[in-house]
Structure formats: C-alpha cells, structure tokens
Amino acid sequence: MTSQYTLLFNRYLKQSNEKVKAIEVLLEYLKGHPVGDMLDYGCGTGAFIEAVLPYCNNIFAMDNENRLPKHLLHHDHVKFIKGDLLNSDFQQTFDAILAAYVLWEIPFSKWDFFFKKCKQLLNTNRVMIVIDTYTESNFDNPFFSFNKNLQISTDYPKWHDYLRSQNITFESHPFTSQIKAKDEEEMYRILEFFFQTPESQDFYNQNSEKILTDFKSKKTAVGIAITMQHSMDILYLNQAKNA
C-alpha cells in the first residue's frame, strides 16, 4: 500500500464508522463460531485483534510491518509474524484466516495463488473470513454510482462473480456504514482514496460538478451523510457449506 493511499484511507476512516460496523458483524459471527487459532493477515494496528481475542485461543498476526501496540505485541495469546503470506512457507495451520481490508492490495494475477495458499493453511472444515467488499448495487456513494464503467477500468472482477467462477462456497453477512462530512467539498476529499488510477482521477475531475451536486442532495442538519453497503464473506475453501 502506498503512503498516499494510507493517508487517504485514514482520512476516510476518521469520518466513517465502517470499521466499527465491520467489527460488530464479525463478533456477531464469532459468538456462534468461536475458533482456536486464527491468522489475521494484514493485521495493521491490531483493531480486529483487540476485538476478536475473547473468541480465539491464539491469534497469529501477520504484516509486512509491525505496527501493533505494545499491549498486543506482548499479549500471551498474540504472536506477530513479519512477512507476506504470498512469500511465506511456514507450516502452521489455522482454524480461521481473517483478511480484513487487504484483498484489493493483492494483484488480481495472484488471487488464485493466494486462495490456494489460504486453503492449505486452514484446518479441515474451517473458514476464511474476508472483510473488504461492497455490494454491487444500490450505491449511495456517487463515486460508484456515477462511474458506470468502473469495472471496465480495472483488472479486478466483481468479487462474488470471482468466488462463483472458482467454485468457492461462501455466505455473505451484509452490513451498513455511514460517512459524515461538514459539507460537499469535504466529502469529495474523504472519498478520494477509492480511486487512485489516472483513469479514475480523470473521470472524477470531469464529473466533479455532478458529484458535488449529488452530495448537496444528501445534506442533513449537521452536514453531509452517505450510506455505504458492505459484506463480510465467510469462505468455505476446503469444505461444503453444510458439511
């Protein structure tokens, strides 16, 4: 992830409750499906580790950079692993793999290998949890709804279409988040991080007036509010869904 992307993403998270809502839906799932050993791939600063610790025996936190706070880094049930799953050959297996907000940082050309690797690391009848997707309709976010040709401008397929093409059994747990800004100009800046390619930047430069007008229609008494639809997906990489 580039430093510019990180800067823009952090700006977005400050104005959105997406991560809070993602943790809520994850914990609701884990309450009924506690796990033994979990791999948190792309653990970042450990926000998800902090939340899921009560539902896991041990968490193996993997990232290219160690950004965990000291209380997690020295926790008896947390082990940090510096590295990249795509380039690792460790033999540890897990009862669950969590991939939260990392999927779209992996080149699509490596997706097949990535999921093959995850399948090898999962114990029998265990799951992979992906939190990184948005629903493919009913966009309240003009950055999506205005750009009808977004899919054409990227190498990435629609997420659920990809899973079906690979015969990966999955179930989706939808959730909703909200982004708030004081005015339309601030909202425009907040959502910049979604599109960083030259093609998408050109598109938004050309359509900025339309997008800002749409933002104005979403004004509330305290500013601009946009609703986002997301999905947490449970992937059954080495079992049938009802096995």
Q: Give pLDDT, residue 218.
A: 81
Q: How far apart are CA 57 and CA 77, in angstroms?
A: 7
Q: How far apart are CA 26 and CA 113, in angstroms?
A: 25
Beta bridge partners of 170: 235
Q: How far apart are CA 87 and CA 66, in angstroms?
A: 17
Q: How far apart are CA 186 and CA 191, in angstroms?
A: 9
Burial class (CB in 10 A: 0-12, 13-18, 19+), 92: exposed
**For the chain, where are the alpha helices, taking DSSP H only?**
3-15, 18-32, 47-52, 70-73, 111-121, 142-145, 159-165, 184-190, 198-206, 208-216
The low-confidence residues of the chain, meaning pLDDT below 50, are 1-2, 147-153, 240-243
Q: Give pLDDT, residue 154.
A: 55
Residues in the chain: 243
Using alpha carbons, list the distances in angstroms from residue 118 to 2, 126, 235: 24, 11, 10
Burial class (CB in 10 A: 0-12, 13-18, 19+), 40: buried
Tell me the per-residue pLDDT of 92-106, one tens digit each, with 9 for 90 and over: 899 999 999 888 788
Quick check: 160 and 9 in contact, CB under 8 A?
no
Q: Assign 1 to helix, strand or coil.
A: coil
Residue with tokens 């999905």: 231
What percent of the chain is helix, strand and coil (3-state, nearest 5)?
45, 30, 30
Q: Give pLDDT, residue 151.
A: 47
Q: Give pLDDT, residue 133.
A: 72
Q: How far apart are CA 41 and CA 24, in angstroms?
A: 19
Query: Domain 3-136+154-176+230-236 sits in which CATH superfamily?
Result: Vaccinia Virus protein VP39 (3.40.50.150)
